[in-house]
Amino acid sequence: MNTPSPFSRRRFLGSLSLGAAAAMIAARLRGQSVAPASAPTRKLGVALVGLGGYSTGQLGPALRQTKHCRLAGVVTGSREKGEKWARDHGFPSGNIYNYDTMDQLAGNPDIDIVYVVTPNALHAGHVIRAAKAGKHVICEKPMAVSVAECDAMLAACRAAKVKLSIGYRLHFDPYHQELMRLVKEKEFGAFNRLAGDFAFVMKSKVWRADKKLAGGGPLMDLGVYVIQSACMAAGGIAPVAITAAKEEKKTRLDLFPDVEEGISWTMEFPGGVVGEGKTSYARSVNQFRAEAPRGFIELKPAFSYSGLRGDSTRGPLRFDPPVNQQARQMDDFAQCVLQNRESRVPGEMGRRDVQIIEAIYA
């Protein structure tokens, strides 16, 4: 690869580290073992770390629908909130922990999996503590606020011999699974033009717009979905370079003093595949489109918890009945633990996406 001109505005991603991550993902998935059919199964206990909006609105309800796991405990800064969760979900009050006592999870056989749902900047510390307690871990996206933190999380999970998965729920949604099927079977040929845009209007200051807690603005929160879908459509590989990254002009300096309000970028993939990405907290849009020589697929809305819709060269896409993405995601990870196989959304994938985010910001 030739050294880019200083005027090219191109940010090459670290090919060695991304290539190593991709190879590790592939190797782990190829080498995964599956328990024999006669192996006993049980519902694994999940502890949610952080009881904010996502836990309350999505993960808690989803755990009532799961087949292979159950809510067995919580880690929260509010004992009162924890007691309410214990009553509502039927687990003992002894399974309520705070952030200072989280290490005591090590002595609780009721809890097999810890799901970290705290602000982005806290992910690394909570994942490492859960791993040291001997618990398998799901970490909400983005995995962390830096590649260095991702590396520390991966090392901690390897040292503790526990599994690490990232909360990429859309890998378990039928619309994105159809995108991946089209990639694999090349029904329309290989996708070579990709475009995604995910944005909503943020009306008040929340932690997602606080750089100390979020690590950045909408790129960390929403843009990671666009990155994920682009990598899916490119065949599961990462871009080799980022170009034309541009921050949008801010309209609300009071809400976004130290993070971007909106940002756009271009991803260059091997073979000349180009992906355009956009994200913002100042407008409303939710879509992804992939084009190939003989056809296209478009998802609109593309990234919501439910109600996804799609269109393609073959006509409208409709998958019924609706699925609970989070229930499917958590059930799959529970089966990974029970059958000793690797997650389809492993920590290495989370690290890859954080490396792409770092390149966009750079």
| DSSP state letter for 29 | H
Cβ 150 vs Cβ 166: under 8 Å: no
Residue among 153, 103, 176, 105 nearest 329 (CA)? 176
- Secondary structure E strands in the chain: 10-12, 44-49, 69-75, 96-97, 113-116, 136-139, 164-166, 193-199, 241-247, 262-268, 274-280, 285-292, 295-299, 310-312, 315-317
The SS3 of residue 350 is helix
Known catalytic membership, residue 141: yes
Known catalytic membership, residue 225: yes
**Cβ neighbours of residue 5 closer than 8 Å, sequence gap 6 or more:** none
Cβ 345 vs Cβ 164: under 8 Å: no
Cα(40)–Cα(32) distance, rounded to whole angstroms? 19
Q: Which of 97, 115, 135, 141 is catalytic?
A: 141
Q: Which of 115, 168, 175, 225 is catalytic?
A: 225
Residue among 357, 329, 113 nearest 242 (CA)? 357
Residue among 351, 274, 332 nearest 32 (CA)? 332
Residues marked active site are found at 141, 225
